[in-house]
Amino acid sequence: MMSIEREHAYGACRPTVHYNQCGYYSSSPYEYGAERSTYTSADGLIDLSASSAYGRRTRRVLRVDHSKITSDPFIPAQNVKVSMSNYIVFDLPVAGYTNAEALAVYTGFKTAFSASSDLLITKLLGGES
C-alpha cells in the first residue's frame, strides 16, 4: 500500500486522505503556494512524487526515487542502501503556454529520448553529452 505526505509552503502536513478505485491515496490540492504529493511503496524503496510551485514561473515536477540494498563495495560482507532518482521538470511562464502547448513540447521531447530503443538515454547514462 502507498502512503502520502503533502508539503505546503509553510511546512509538511498530512491532508485528508481518500482511497480511489485502485486503492491508492488521493487528496485535494492546496489553493496557493507550493504543493506536493508523494506515494511510497509498501517496502519504502520507491517514492513517486508530483509537485507544483507557483511564483514568477510555474514549476511542475514528476519524480521517482528508487532505493535498493546492495553489498558494500569496500566491505562486501555488509549491505548498504543506495538510491537514485529520475525526474522531469516543466518550467513554465505564468502566462503564454496552454496545457496543450506544453504537452506538445513534452511529446516531442519524449519522442526524441525514447526513439531507437532509448538510445539517447543509453548514451547519456554512458557519459556522452
Could you read off the pLDDT of 26-66 as tens digits, one per residue?
A: 444 433 457 889 999 999 999 999 999 998 999 999 999 99
For the chain, the residue count is: 129
Confidence of residue 129 (pLDDT cuts 50, 70, 90): confident
What per-residue confidence (pLDDT) applies to 33?
57
Q: How many Cβ atoms sit within 10 Å of the Cβ of residue 124? A: 12
Tell me what percent of the residues of the chain surpass a pLDDT of 70.
Answer: 74
**By CB neighbour count within 10 A (0-12 exposed, 13-18 middle, 19+ buried), where does 35 fall?**
buried
Locus of grid cell 513540447: 105
**Closest listed residue to residue 25, CA positions, set 60, 50, 43, 52:** 50
Dist CA 35 CA 7 (whole Å):
6
Predicted TM-score (pTM) of this structure = 0.67
